Chain A
């Protein structure tokens, strides 16, 4: 069973992809694959941020009440 990646791990991977695709010598075939993976990571990272924001908001609401 694949272990879910942490936010930090996903961010590191995304950064590596950004670095890779920014290089001129990045192969076009690899580029396509990497861009797709980057899209997936960005979506997952945003989802994680949303979830964190929601949790924090709920918790603060609870404290204030």
Chain B
């Protein structure tokens, strides 16, 4: 059954279009997360879906098709540039955009035509996205893993993940070199900007793991210099955070400037503000250890020094006394020696005299018996002709020839008569 009041599709679409236009005569502000972003080359138009935010892994409650025409893009970029902001659309980022509602009556297609872009909100949105990611990864415990690793007091063997030849690398290495401590740096270079950042950084961590140096590393530093919020936002990838959580060494993260915060800063063991600051943290640790050793050494020396001084003084006194004693020793000994010598001299002389007297005495006794001497005194010795001494008159016969020895010669005599006493 049909009626004259029935509408055609076109009539309905036109009616809906009219209602929409009367409901939204001017563009409105809307916020949502960009998905399915694609650019149509040649004409410069950009198309994507804007979705209401949802938890990771869950489907968005609502989406709407969006279009940014080339002409509008140029104008919006210019406006953002005047405010010192960058106009950039990226998937998975939340944006606040001003749209006019378009309804194509021929196709019945509903589309939001972008007319404006809130550059301030873009930054805030990235921050909210990061906060959500941080909260989510904290719940899983991912952000606490690396922080539980012990960091040695003297981190000298350092793995470095950064861009090759970058200012960050120069600043970091220079600060270590200027410290004078014997740091050893093992670099694993990575792309530190653009969509490949996350994969490249994770690959560099893996290369350090696979290299022979990995076991000996004390810490690994992930660092890059400052850049736009968009540049640094490439680090806000949960893959990097999950990789850091699985590393065996403490990670020091120094990405961007002091005001910048990225996801690796939360996943790392220690956060540094800049590449130079990352190096300074390591240098300070080694310096603190050095200072502590020095002060311990000084304390040891100062506790021992008084004792050593006392011992030295005691030794010196002993030495002085000994010197004095030794100096006086020869004279005292000489005195004793001289006394002994005098005594000896006296004893020897006395003894020698005694001996001499004794000899003299014996000499006298011998002299008394010397036949020569006796003959000189007038004594004579009578012998028979055989020379046998005749000691008594009984040994001599009258008429016997005898020899009489006298001083200066002898007599041959014949005994005439014997006269007894």
CB contacts (< 8 Å) of A34 on chain B: these are 366
Contact of A35 with B371 in the complex, beta carbons under 8 Å: yes
Q: Are B352 and A60 in contact (CB under 8 A)?
A: no
A13-41 CB contacts (< 8 Å) to partner B = 14-15, 17-18, 21-22, 26-29, 31-32, 34-35, 38-39
A49 touching B355 by the CB < 8 A rule? yes
Q: How far is the CB of A62 from chain B (nearest CB, A)?
A: 9
Main DSSP-derived SS at the A contact region: helix
- Which residue of A18, A27, A49, A63 is within 8 Å of B365 (Cβ)? A18
Size range of the interface on A?
20 to 34
Are B389's CB and A56's CB within 8 A? Answer: no
- A35 and B370 form a contact (CB under 8 A): yes
Any A CB within 8 A of the CB of B362: yes
Q: Is the CB of A15 within 8 A of B371?
A: no
Binary contact track B76-90/A, C-beta < 8 Å → 1, others 0: 000000000000000
Question: Please, how many angstroms separate the alpha-carbon atoms of A11 and B369 in the complex?
Answer: 18
Q: Is the CB of A52 within 8 A of B352?
A: yes
Chain B contacts for A17, CB-based, 8 A: 366
Which among A21, A53, A60 is the interface contact of B366 at CB below 8 angstroms? A21
Q: Quick one: which of B353-392 are within 8 Å of A by CB?
A: 355-356, 358-359, 362-363, 365-367, 369-372, 381, 389
Residues on A with beta carbons closer than 8 Å to the beta carbon of B370: 31-32, 35
Known: A35-B366, A35-B371, A42-B363. A60 touches B344 (CB 8 A): yes
Q: Is A4 interfacial (CB 8 A cutoff)?
A: no
A34 to B356, CA, bound (A): 20
A interface, CB within 8 angstroms of B: 11, 14-15, 17-18, 21-22, 26-29, 31-32, 34-35, 38-39, 42, 45-46, 49, 52-53, 56-57, 60, 63-64
Using A49-B352, A53-B348 as known contacts, list a sample of 13 further A-B pairs with CB atoms less than 8 Å apart, ordered by residue number in A: A21-B366, A38-B363, A42-B359, A42-B362, A42-B363, A45-B355, A46-B356, A53-B349, A56-B348, A60-B344, A60-B345, A63-B341, A64-B341
